[in-house]
């Protein structure tokens, strides 16, 4: 967090809104709030969590899509900055909460492909998020007419980028549209929210991002585009989750079975319930066998969980040291979008979370789920009373 804050210290209004969705644990978010981090929320329960730890007003950015009315009501009650995903949400918001907030943001999607040099980073044109250019201009005009006084622009055009060029390129797109918007609509644009997208090197062979180079790249574009347009007071916000927490969490699991058929399998006591990314995306997570860090990686394994799904694999054809039953495997970089994406398929229960402190001590920051938790939504029925005893 200190490195991120330093990288953007040139901007007086800079603020990081941690993406609660990445790691929704109050103990961890409170550590970030010691550095004046806000909360980026996208649901009712994320708003609840943020309120419970003391975040309120402009400390909360509510960036949602396909948003239920009650979530807009709650966000407005908390005084959160509301970031509208779609043009039609303007009328929906006004009818729902009875007014248009004085400070409001809109999410922008320019469409097409987002490229850096000749590399395609992502395809915003296929994304469900954000407004088109024409919709954004019309939205600002309508919102101004309805009483909005301070405006923000938000965009998320690529995910998990491992390049120092993504944020500066995104910033240039948003800065240029901001200059045109302010000139043509007469609104005052208070902030640009670069959202997330800065990734981490899941593979140890990857070169990590240099956050200071990224911040400096954004500064150069800021001075090139905004300052000459008289917009040198514009604040920069970020909504990083993966970059903030990803490298600092691990899933520790035990080898409990081995299987020798058409392939060599190691079965562990965790599954996709605990870490869904490999099953959903085919994502790579590095694995260390504890006590065998220096041993040769001369055995090829599929490392699997116990779900009744063949994609429940943490690694496929991975070269690792010889693994024996009882060995502990550390699956790296699970601190963001790991536990939070978990679910309860097959009735599997989610694990505890432990915080390792600087002095080597540990603290339980979430207990493991129990069968009573799994059956809790049946507690209003007779069968539920039996199951939740």
Which residues are annotated as catalytic? 308
CA distance 303 to 313: 6
Backbone φ and ψ of 119, nearest 5°: -90, 125
335 with 353: CB under 8 angstroms?
A: no
The structure tokens listed for 140 are 């600002």
Beta-carbon count within 10 A of 83 CB: 27
| Residue 257 · residue 327 · CB < 8 Å | no
Closest CA to 146 of 184, 186, 91: 91
Give 83-91 contacts, CB < 8 A, sequence gap 24+.
83/107, 83/152, 83/154, 83/193, 84/131, 84/139, 85/129, 85/130, 85/131, 86/130, 86/131, 86/135, 87/131, 87/135, 87/138, 87/139, 90/139, 90/142, 90/143, 90/146
- How many Å apart are CA 375 and CA 318, to the nearest integer? 37
The two three-digit tokens of residue 28, written as one number: 């961890």
Q: Token pair of 332, please?
A: 């790296």
**Who's near 32: CB < 8 A, 6+ residues apart?**
1, 16, 18, 244
Q: Which two tokens stand for residue 61?
A: 């950015």
Q: 3-class DSSP state for residue 301?
A: strand
Q: Which has the closest alpha carbon to 168: 194, 191, 186?
A: 194
Helix locations, 26-105, DSSP H: 26-33, 44-52, 69-78, 89-97
Instruction: Please report, for residues 19, 76, 167, 189, the alpha-carbon distance to residue 143 in angstroms, rounded to integers and kept in the order given.
Output: 26, 16, 27, 12
8 Å CB contact between 354 and 368: no
- The residues with which 131 forms a beta bridge, in sequence order, are 108
């Amino acid at each position: 967090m200190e490195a991120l804050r330093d990288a953007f210290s040139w901007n007086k209004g800079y603020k990081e809104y941690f993406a609660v969705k990445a790691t929704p644990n109050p103990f961890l978010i409170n550590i970030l709030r010691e550095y004046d981090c806000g909360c980026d929320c996208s649901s009712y329960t994320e708003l609840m969590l943020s309120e419970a730890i003391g975040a309120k007003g402009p400390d909360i950015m509510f960036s949602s899509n396909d948003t239920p009315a009650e979530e807009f009501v709650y966000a407005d009650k908390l005084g959160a900055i509301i970031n509208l995903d779609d043009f039609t949400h303007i009328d929906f918001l006004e009818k729902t909460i009875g007014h248009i907030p004085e400070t409001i943001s809109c999410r922008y999607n320019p469409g097409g492909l987002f490229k850096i040099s000749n590399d395609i980073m992502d395809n915003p044109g296929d994304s469900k998020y954000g407004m088109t250019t024409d919709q954004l201009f019309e939205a600002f005009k309508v919102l101004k007419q309805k009483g909005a006084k301070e405006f923000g622009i938000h965009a998320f055009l690529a995910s998990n980028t491992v390049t120092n060029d993504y944020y500066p390129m995104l910033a240039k797109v948003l800065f240029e549209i901001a200059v045109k918007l302010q000139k043509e609509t007469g609104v005052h644009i208070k902030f640009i929210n670069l959202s997330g997208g800065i990734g981490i090197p899941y593979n140890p062979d990857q070169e990590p991002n240099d956050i200071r180079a990224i911040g400096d790249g954004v500064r150069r574009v800021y001075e090139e585009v905004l300052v000459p347009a008289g917009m040198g007071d514009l604040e920069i916000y970020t909504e990083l989750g993966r970059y903030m927490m990803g490298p600092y969490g691990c899933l520790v699991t035990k080898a409990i079975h081995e299987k020798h058929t058409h392939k060599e399998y190691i079965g562990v006591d965790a599954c996709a319930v605990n870490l869904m990314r490999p099953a959903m995306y085919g994502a790579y997570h590095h694995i260390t066998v504890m006590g065998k860090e220096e041993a040769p990686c001369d055995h090829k394994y599929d490392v699997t969980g116990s779900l009744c799904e063949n994609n429940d694999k943490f690694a496929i054809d991975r070269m690792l040291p010889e693994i024996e039953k009882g060995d502990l495997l550390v699956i790296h970089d699970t601190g963001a979008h790991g536990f939070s994406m978990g679910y309860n398929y097959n009735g599997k229960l989610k694990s505890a979370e432990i915080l390792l402190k600087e002095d080597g001590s540990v603290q339980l920051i979430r207990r493991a789920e129990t069968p009573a938790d799994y059956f809790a939504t049946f507690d209003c029925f007779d069968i539920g009373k039996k199951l939740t005893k």
